[in-house]
Amino acid sequence: MRIRKATEQDKKQAIKIAEELKEWFTRTAIKNMKIDFDLNSLIVIIDKNKVFGFLCYTSYSGRMQLIWMGVKRSVQRKGLGDKLLKWLEREAKKLGLHLIEVETLPDEDDYEPYKQTRAFYYKNGFKRILYRKSRTKGEDDQIVLEKKL
C-alpha cells in the first residue's frame, strides 16, 4: 500500500468508496465532496492502482484542515486511516503548520457510525475545542476537533 496525490481516475474510485459508506455520507455530502475534491487537495492510499482510502485537505490561515476521509469498508480498522493521517501530519509539518482541524458530529449525537469516526480522531490525539450549532435547517450541529503537531 502506498499513498499518492490523486489522479482523475483515483478521484472517481474515491467517490465510489464514499458512495458505499452510506451511513456516513448522504447524497448531499457526496455532491459537496465532489466539489471539494476538485477545489482542494486529495491523497489516496493504493495498492496496484486500486484505491482503498482517501483524504481531502486544504490549509486555511495557518491551519491544516482535514475536509473528508474514508476507508473502504472491507479494509477498515487495519491501519489505513492511520497511514493517511500520518501523511497529512508530515505534510503539515513540512509546510510549517502546527495544527490539524476537523469537523464532525458531536459526542452528544448518539448516531452509531460517527462514534467510530470520533473514536478514530480521539485515538489519534484530536481534542474537542468547539461546539458549532447548526444555523441551517436540516443540517446537523458539528464539533471542531484539533490536533496540535
Segment 96 to 115, residues that bind ligand COA, using CB under 6 A: 104
* Candidate ranges 35-43, 64-72, 127-135, 141-149; the one touching ligand COA (CB under 6 A): 64-72
Among 117, 125, 144, 146, binds ligand COA (CB under 6 A): 117
Q: Is 142 in the site for ligand COA (CB under 6 A)?
A: no
Q: Which of 93, 73, 88, 92 is nearest to 124 (CA)?
A: 88
Residue 22's Cα: distance from chain center in Å? 15
Q: How far is the CB of 96 from ligand COA (least distance, A)?
A: 25
Q: Is 22 in the site for ligand COA (CB under 6 A)?
A: no
Residue nearer to ligand COA on the CB measure, 96 or 108:
108
Q: Please give the Cα distance from 97 to 90 (Å, whole number).
A: 10
Q: Which of 92, 84, 120, 95 is nearest to 2 (CA)?
A: 84
Beta bridge partners of 69: 55
Among 7, 19, 21, 146, binds ligand COA (CB under 6 A): 21
- How many positions of this chain bind ligand COA (CB under 6 A)? 19
Q: Is 36 in the site for ligand COA (CB under 6 A)?
A: no
Identify whether the C-beta of residue 18 lies closer than 8 Å to the C-beta of residue 12: no
Question: Which residues in this chain contact ligand COA in the complex, by CB under 6 A?
Answer: 21, 24, 68-71, 76-82, 104, 116-117, 119-120, 123
